[in-house]
Amino acid sequence: MHAGRRLAAIVAACCLASVAAQAQKLPAGFVYLRDVDPTIIQDIRYAGSNNFVGRPLRGYQAAECVVKREVGALLKSVQEELAPQNLSLKMFDCYRPTRAVADMVAWSRDGKETPAQKRYNPAFSKADLFRLGYIAERSGHSTGAALDLTLVELKADNSATFDPARDYADCTANVNLRAPDGSVDMGTGYDCSDTKSHTAAKSITAAQRRWREKLVQVMARRGFVNYSKEWWHFSLPGAGGQAYDFPIAPRK
């Protein structure tokens, strides 16, 4: 009887170890945001076709937000502040493998540009994205401490979905004409390489400016710093470090 119990305990321990081994897919210090706060909406663009490249980027094997553990805890705190206001964060991108950054670089230099891709940089060529500061050969995203995100009104009708076959207006157009993203109107779409995307742009409405200011303020209260050329981009100083290249795999 005692031997049977011991055997059962050994089997149970082995099973738990096996589960833990399967779940441990991330380097130390990284977490899936969904495991920290499942209420935060995720729309990880580079895992699909709804992005400026028009296809999944290398390393995005799953549409999951992966972040440094401390970053995830702070995002949970932001979400807890927003929830009573019927608002939610929506994540567009989190940790980004360096192979995905290299994929962006190669795309920007391939000499080709489709009308669908042009929606994201209507005022200039994609070859100018580096010079103008919209794409970099090294990204803070690869450290797990940079984020692309927006706000969602939970009581609004966010049912419109992206149709890859539809001819949408460019990312600076009226919210009813550009591709839908189920979030508040920030004045441009996500990843819009244009001066209108600058956080303090003068060419947006008062309501759009209030939404941007609200996002910046709620993030700043947790120490996040906004990138002035992209209203959606935030980083946490001191939480970065080395760049990583592990793929974003499905959660177990």
Using the predicted structure, report yes or no on whether residue 9 has a pLDDT greater than 70. no
Residue 84, in any domain of the structure: yes
Residue 222: give the domain boundaries.
28-235
Residue 240, in any domain of the structure: no
Using the predicted structure, report yes or no on whether residue 21 has a pLDDT greater than 50. no
Above pLDDT 90, what percent of the chain?
A: 76
Using the predicted structure, report yes or no on whether residue 44 has a pLDDT greater than 60. yes
pLDDT value, residue 22: 39
Residue 32, in any domain of the structure: yes
Residues of each annotated binding site for Zn(2+):
141, 148, 233
Q: What are the structure tokens assigned to 136, written together?
A: 């970099």
- pLDDT tens-digit readout, 195-237: 999 999 999 999 999 999 999 999 999 999 999 999 999 999 9
Overall pTM surpassing 0.85 (yes/no): yes
Q: What are the structure tokens assigned to 105, written together?
A: 């670089």
Using the predicted structure, report yes or no on whether residue 17 has a pLDDT greater than 50. no
Residue 244, in any domain of the structure: no
Residue carrying the six token digits 């009104």: 153
Q: The domain spanning residue 32 has which CATH number?
A: 3.30.1380.10
Residues of each annotated binding site:
141, 148, 233
Distance of CA 87 to the CA centre of its chain: 17
The residues carrying an active-site annotation are: 230
- Tally of residues, the chain: 252
Rounded CA separation 11/71 (Å): 36
Domain count, the chain: 1
- The rounded radius of gyration (Å) of the Cα atoms in the chain is 20
Residue 165, in any domain of the structure: yes
Of 160, 109, 159, 169, the residue nearest 137 (C-alpha): 109
Angle at 64 between CA 86 and CA 170, to 5 degrees: 70
Q: What are the structure tokens assigned to 147, written together?
A: 């984020």
Which DSSP state fits 48?
S
CA distances (Å), origin 83, targets 76, 79, 154, 214: 10, 6, 9, 14
